Copies of this chain bind each other. A is one copy, B any other.
Amino acid sequence: MSRSDLATQTGLNRSTIRDLIGELADLGLVTEDRGTNSGRGRPSLVARPRPEGAVVLAVELEVDSMTVATIGLGGRIFERVRIVQAPPRTPEDVVSDLERLGTPMIEALPVDHNLAGVGVAVAGVVRRQDGFVHVAPNLGWVNVPLGGLISEAMKIDRVMMANEADLGALAEYRRGAAIGSRHLIYLAGEVGVGIGVINDGKPMLGTAGYAGEAGHTRINPSGRLCRCGATGCWETEVGEEALARLAGISDPEMRADLIGEVTRRAHRGDADIFTALKEIGSWLGVGIGNLINTFNPDLVIIGGFFNELYPFLQEPMKGAANDVSLSAPWESCTIRPSKLGIDAHLIGAAELVFAELIANPSGSGDSTETGAAVLAGNSVIAVSASA
């Protein structure tokens, strides 16, 4: 964003903007260059986040896999590695894998990089600030101080953690398909199904951080038993298990690459797969319609494997969602696929750590809340005026 656009957006005068950009440039967080010229005259200076200025080791923890990436300020992914392993994984296994994978990735970063911390996305309920895992049902963990274990093993002070659906919402809101939205629902779907909600520009986490377990709303009283113990939960109709069942895919090898297998069959024109996807899409739409009536969002972002299968799911999904929604909230809502795709949770995990940095870029602790928001590209960088 140019200096004059920054001045307009922040309401600060140009000399203040110049000083603030100078301060951030000194910290290595921002660079300025001449943008491409769209009109006459010399292109103006454009401030951009500098990815090497702050790098997060971002981690996505799933039942049978772990993805680790180095992500720079502004959302640039330097490197990404995913390993698949047979569950169950203990916290010690996870920490040792992370150390083994993450350390060389950090070493491979540009020499002038600055490691801001570790951010972790978990399918579970966690305390953000120190990464304490209250419960992660799919991992079988209860009360695990994972953040502390990582911090100790890797000698990195700042380790933060959050629920993957909440991070998906954050990532799409900051850098993806939801920029400009104020009332957003992000739908995450793998084995489990959950939502991340942004209400009036702020994450909605509930009284203890458990909000968003929409996968366990009862949507079909005559439905199946869910792994949570209840009957007819949304995820029993739309989760990966439902897809495998409806698609008739039980062979372990095919099951391990379920979405790939389904996609290949769909592209082959397999009629049974279309029937299965239509069924999943319809149930997906019913749940989305319920959410639209309840939250009146301006946007629903379809993430997880629903995003990968979006071309096949969208028609029955939108049909059912329209059917369930009242016309007024339906008309004020757009349904859109994820832009960040499989990287959404990782980028959200990085944003979680960047948010800390952004609140206090100099780390001096004497920043004030009157700091100006300098928006560089899609990235909101709050420049704190040092006291």
Contacts and interface: CB of A to CB of B under 8 A. Distances in A.
A172 to B, nearest CB: 16
A195 to B, nearest CB: 8
A216 B293 contact: yes
B329 A213 contact: yes
- How many copies the complex holds: the figure is 2
A324 B206 contact: no
Nearest to A221: B220
A328 B218 contact: no
Contacts of A289: 217-218
Instruction: For chain A, give the interface size range.
Output: 35 or more
A205 to B, nearest CB: 7
Interface stretch (A248-256, A295-303, A367-375): A295-303
Interface in A56-97: none
A325 B216 CA distance: 8
Interface in A314-361: 323-326, 328-329, 332-333
Interface of A: 125, 134-135, 182-183, 195, 199-200, 202, 204-214, 216-222, 228, 230, 286, 289-291, 293-298, 323-326, 328-329, 332-333
Given A206-B297, A207-B332, A208-B329, 16 more contacts: A125-B328, A182-B207, A204-B204, A207-B297, A210-B328, A210-B329, A211-B295, A211-B329, A212-B296, A214-B293, A217-B289, A218-B289, A219-B219, A220-B221, A230-B323, A230-B324
